[in-house]
Amino acid sequence: MDVILDNFDLFWQGWLRTIQICFFALLGAVPLGILLAAARVSPVPSLRTLAGGWVTVLMSCPLTVVLFFMAFGLPEIGIKGSYFWFGTIGLALYSASFVCEALRSGINAVPTGQAEAARSIGLSFMPSLGLVILPQALRSSLPPLTNAIIYLIKNSAIVGAFGVGHDLFAVADTLTAARGLAALPVLAGVIAGYLLLVLPIGRLLSLIETKVAILR
Amino acid sequence: MSSGTLLYDALGPRAGRRVRWFGVVTGAVTLGVLFLVGEKLATEGQLSADKWGPLIDPANPRFSTLWSFLAGGMLNTLIVAVLAIVCAMAFGTAMALLRVTSQPWYRWFVVSVIELLRGIPVVLLIFFLARVLPEIGIEFSTLTFLVMGLALYNGVVIAEIIRGGLQALPRGQKEAAQSLGLSSWHTLRLVLLPQAFRMMLPALIGQLIVVVKETSLGFILSYEELLRRGQIAIQSLHNPLQMFFTIAVIYIVINLGLTLLTRRLERGARKKAPGTPADDKTPAAPLPSPAALPEVRV
């Protein structure tokens, strides 16, 4: 316990840094995911193929490889930046494909009868999309979306493992390796830090989920 | 395409023209971006034979050394993946059984172990094992630490998948087994579990894809899997862009193969599933919708 209290400052900074990474990554991943999902369900075949290819490639490629590619590959062609931004952007690009799949699974979960009913009462494209399909689709995509967000938070540790520096994972590394402190309490503190992020967010989102769930 | 019919009608002539227009514009923009990337690569000298040669030119003197080195890495990756998924299946099944058979007085403990392991980033779990266990005198090879971390983490994910499968089974299965006089253990092992496994097979293979991806976390323990070997090779070849590109392609090919396998299994399961009495082992209930299942990522 002493280890955590003595280094509380460091833990606190690391926690904030992790939140920072997650926040910026989400800020990129969610809009990009929405765009990708829109492209994947659009009537334009080339857009569908393009977005589908993007999602397939990024979902089959380990995040580590994406990050290595960004952090060590891109500087070779003159794109320079801090690890923080490479890591965060890499995480955002990677997570966007999961956000996209979550949204798409929600759209697929809407029964076809809903769209048919909307059309047969005379709603045109925009109203049937905006009033009937999307509200249902968004609700059913909440559970996988929750997972995508939690997944992103946990993956931020991989970004940290790259030495973005000063996030929770890096705190674990510095304290145990460089300062030679006992690993158990340090890592317990770091794990607690992640759980403090993941569990409340998961709880909150599942509360919203039950609130808006569609009973079919 | 299934979503396509939901969101919009069959296209008329005018919408068809508009869509074709859009298609042309998208194609042109894509080609333009590709051209710009290519040009950038060329001006930065990233397309030179010097950088690509060892990776793609069999005549290059370093080609065979490099690829046998990388093949060793691939083998190590597969060893970890196979060991981890086997251990994870065993551990996951045990946890699922423990959870569904648990008495209330210790159920909270099983549930919190599962939730705890699910809430920790897997990279941290591996790191935790590799740092903490040696401290209390338990020394293992990096391979073991990596496999343990992956197996623990994916095990609880699999436990949740199996639990989902058990819950999705029709009640009649359990009732029938019990009225035959099977004990609760036999009910579980002979009747419920085989069906749950079968129903969840696609999700379980999906987890294998995740494990293959996560083996690349071996780099934090300097375990020489594919990615780490690539990293080592870069130190003498100085071609990070090309190397990581090639490694990404390898991972993608492996995982696409597994994805295709999952799709095939899913189709097979779906074909049999919805209430067809063709095969008495087949669960009568339709498969739970993907959204209802515990998600199988990470």
Task: Answer whether residue B5 is part of any domain.
Answer: no
What is the pLDDT, as a whole number, of residue B280? Answer: 42
CB-based contact (8 Å) between A55 and chain B? no
B130: exposed, middle or buried (Cβ count in 10 Å: 0-12, 13-18, 19+) = buried
Residue B257 in this model has a pLDDT that exceeds 50 = yes
Number of domains in chain A: 1
CB-based contact (8 Å) between B11 and chain A? yes
pLDDT, average across residues B208-221: 87
What is the pLDDT, as a whole number, of residue A186? Answer: 80
DSSP assignment of B113-174 equals: HHHHHHHS-HHHHHHHHHHHHHHTT----HHHHHHHHHHHHHHHHHHHHHHHHHHHS-HHHH
pLDDT, average across residues B232-257: 86
What is the pLDDT, as a whole number, of residue B3? Answer: 44
Residue B295 in this model has a pLDDT that exceeds 70 = no
What is the pLDDT, as a whole number, of residue B167? Answer: 86
Contact A187 B11 (CB under 8 A): no
User: In this structure, what CATH number is given to the domain that contains residue B259?
Assistant: 1.10.3720.10
Residues 6+ apart with CB under 8 A from B262: B202, B205, B206, B209
Mean pLDDT of chain A: 84
- Name the amino acid, one letter, at A33: G
> Can you tell me the distance from the alpha carbon of B71 to that of A196, in angstroms, rounded to the nearest whole number?
41
Q: Which two tokens stand for residue B279?
A: 């095969």
- Per-residue pLDDT tens digits for A153-181: 988 888 888 766 677 777 777 777 666 66
What is the pLDDT, as a whole number, of residue B297? Answer: 37
Q: Sorting pLDDT into bands at 50, 70 and 90, what band is B84?
A: very high
Residue B20 in this model has a pLDDT that exceeds 80 = yes
What is the pLDDT, as a whole number, of residue B90? Answer: 92
Residue B27's domain comprises: 11-47
In chain B, whose CA is at the least distance from the CA of A114?
Answer: B6
Residue B22 in this model has a pLDDT that exceeds 90 = no
A·B CB contacts under 8 A: 183
Asked if B77 and B22 sit in the same domain, the reply is no
Mean pLDDT of chain B: 81
- B290 vs A contacts (CB less than 8 Å): 105, 109, 144
Q: Which two tokens stand for residue A210?
A: 């039950």
Asked if B23 and B108 sit in the same domain, the reply is no
Which 144-183 residues of chain B touch chain A by CB within 8 A? none
Residue A3 in this model has a pLDDT that exceeds 80 = no
User: In this structure, what CATH number is given to the domain that contains residue A186?
Assistant: 1.10.3720.10
Task: Answer whether residue B165 is part of any domain.
Answer: yes
Task: Answer whether residue B276 is part of any domain.
Answer: yes
CB-based contact (8 Å) between B197 and chain A? no
